[in-house]
Amino acid sequence: MAHVTVVMNPKGGVGKSTIATNLAGYFANQGKSVMLGDVDKQQSAREWLKLRPAQVAPIKSWDIEAGKTAKLPKGTTHAVIDTPAGLHGKLLDTVIRSANRVVVPLQASMLDILATKSFLEELANDKAVRASDALVGVIGMRVDSRTRSYDELQRFLEGLGLPVLGNLRNTQNYVQLAARGLTLFDLNPARVEQDLEQWKPILKWLEG
């Protein structure tokens, strides 16, 4: 059975694809057989993979056959699933049931917190989550720990009882790498040392 990490948040533009691609890049550079996919009709993960250079650690996409349901490629050990905005209901339950880890990226702004509040409450009480071994954690996106917004985010998450896995700073590194089909983990660590340091607690939780 593959280890499945699902990245979700019903709000768009919060950094789900940034998290998903970099997680896939991490596992691939650990020598794992990795599949990066999504449950969005746009299949943006597949488009990103087309940009990925042949010389870096390989990441596969869904195995798709005409008229059949997409499935993991044979031999996959780790799967990272990106999800669309507005995911809920039966599709939400189906995705969660397959997950070992559920990661929720969340920006430290009151508007984002309010937009995500009901979803996180639903997730915390979801029957599929309670019935599975899936662990749910939150990543603060584009966070400056010196701001009032950061304090509001921390208080909000403490109230839900969900762990904050880590906080990622606002940097163009992610944007520039994504445009080339790359991740932090494909580079010489010295070039992105500050960002890799922020990923350490997140990766520790994922592999725990």
Which CATH number belongs to the domain containing residue 33 in this structure?
3.40.50.300
Which pLDDT value is given to residue 39? 82
Which pLDDT value is given to residue 126? 65
pLDDT higher for 198 or 126?
198
- Burial class of residue 135 in the structure, from the number of CB atoms within 10 Å of its CB (0-12 exposed, 13-18 middle, 19+ buried): middle
pTM: 0.90
Q: Which of 19-23, 70-74, 91-95, 199-203 has the lowest mean pLDDT?
A: 91-95
Residue 197 confidence (pLDDT) above 80: yes
Cα–Cα distance measured from residue 151 to residue 141, given in angstroms and rounded to the nearest whole number: 14
Domain that holds residue 203: 3-207
What's the pLDDT band for 132 if we cut at 50, 70, 90?
A: low
Other beta carbons within 10 angstroms of residue 92's beta carbon come to 22
How far apart are the two ends of the chain, measured CA to CA in Å?
Answer: 17
Of 21-25, 145-149, 155-159, highest mean pLDDT: 21-25
Task: Report phi then psi at 140, rounded to 5.
Answer: -75, 125
Domain count for the chain: 1
pLDDT higher for 80 or 127?
80
- Render pLDDT for 46-68 as a digit per residue (tens, 0 to 9): 899 999 999 999 999 988 766 66
- Render pLDDT for 69-86 as a digit per residue (tens, 0 to 9): 678 999 999 999 998 877
Which pLDDT value is given to residue 86? 74
Cα–Cα distance measured from residue 129 to residue 127, given in angstroms and rounded to the nearest whole number: 5
Question: Mean pLDDT score of the chain, rounded to an integer?
Answer: 86
